Amino acid sequence: MTDKRLLCLGFGYVAGALAARLRREGWRVAGTARNSEKARALCARNVEPVHWKNGGAGALEFAAPAAVLVSTPPGEKGCPAYAAAERGVAKAAREISWIGYLSTNGVYGDHDGAWVDESSPLLATSPRAKNRIKAEAQWRDLGAALDIPVVVFRLPGIYGPGRSALDAVREGRARRIFKEGQVFSRAHVDDIAAALHASLSMPHAGELFNICDDEPAPPQDVIDYACKLLGVAPPPLTPIETAQLSPMAKSFYDDNKRVSNVRMKERLLPTLTYPTYRDGLDAIFAAARG
């Protein structure tokens, strides 16, 4: 990709990690902002702010991008970035060689702890996950109509500096919730950014990827390890039946699956920098101490 311009529709944790990586290679990066405070924050990170007009149309004012990253959460009608940017993307279609859509592995729903891959059935029951499925289809259909490669990335629990079990323990927010047999998949934000970067370099490598590390693990084990690194006693183990979780927090425990990253490793990212949560937490802990 010779014309190095990325437009981020939504600019959150993952987009920020990808932007930092790309800017080191001379990319220009723009990100959407709904207010002046967010625009100033983007400018401070050397990201060009693109203002949503009336919450919608006109998002592609930034000169025709070579690539578009979509990370806005969907609603009942699908992806708000799609509604805002559809016309702009169509107008700039000849210039765009990649659209990446950040989805979630929540679309697989509950598989009772079994392994899932990109061909597994989508058993989502929550409205939130069903909305993701609808948004994935919107972007795929647009890409097919305009002959633009659209790549869907189904992300797991995301952690990294400033957003990890170590921070939860330090801030007194950590809980060890126990549900028999429950595991979650996760990935360090830098590995996610590396996979997105690889896809940008190879737009036709694939249309769908699970992004996650090698070791799905019980959530209480991650908190245990963070406490070990910090040299503090772990919080008590709390059965999910008595945990008094919010409806949204409890809904995450409704789905139990192990997410395979085989396709990601075969086509995008053969080696993870942080193949397990232990590797990731070790690095975050060492960097904080340093």
User: Do residues 213 and 275 lie in contact, with contact meaning Cβ atoms separated by under 8 Å?
Assistant: yes
What's 36-58 look like in SS3? Answer: HHHHHHHHHCCCEEEECECCECC
User: Do residues 171 and 178 lie in contact, with contact meaning Cβ atoms separated by under 8 Å?
Assistant: no
Distance (Å, rounded) from C-alpha 263 to C-alpha 290? 35
The CB-side HSE value for 40 (13 A sphere, CA atoms) comes to 3
64-93 burial, b at 16+ Cβ within 10 Å, e below that, comes to bbbbbbbbbebeeebbbbbbbbbebbeebb
Q: What is the pLDDT along the chain (290 residues), one digit of tens a residue?
A: 557 899 999 999 999 999 999 999 999 999 998 888 999 999 999 999 988 765 554 444 556 678 999 999 998 888 999 988 888 888 889 999 999 999 999 999 999 999 999 999 999 999 999 999 999 999 999 999 999 999 999 999 999 999 999 999 999 999 999 999 999 999 999 999 999 999 999 999 999 999 999 999 999 999 999 999 999 999 999 999 999 999 888 999 999 999 999 999 999 999 999 999 999 999 999 999 98
pTM: 0.95
Long-range contacts of 235-240 (CB under 8 A, 24+ apart): 235/174, 235/175, 235/176, 236/176, 237/176, 237/178, 238/175, 238/176, 238/177, 238/178, 239/177, 239/178, 239/179, 240/177, 240/178, 240/179, 240/182
pLDDT of residue 57: 40
Give me the chain's average pLDDT, please.
93
- CATH code for the structural domain at 5-158+187-212+257-274: 3.40.50.720
Closest CA to 27 of 56, 54, 67: 67
- The string of pLDDT tens digits covering residues 95-154 is 999 999 999 999 999 999 999 999 999 999 999 999 999 999 999 999 999 999 999 999
pLDDT of residue 267: 98
pLDDT of residue 112: 97
pLDDT of residue 62: 52
The CB-side HSE value for 37 (13 A sphere, CA atoms) comes to 0
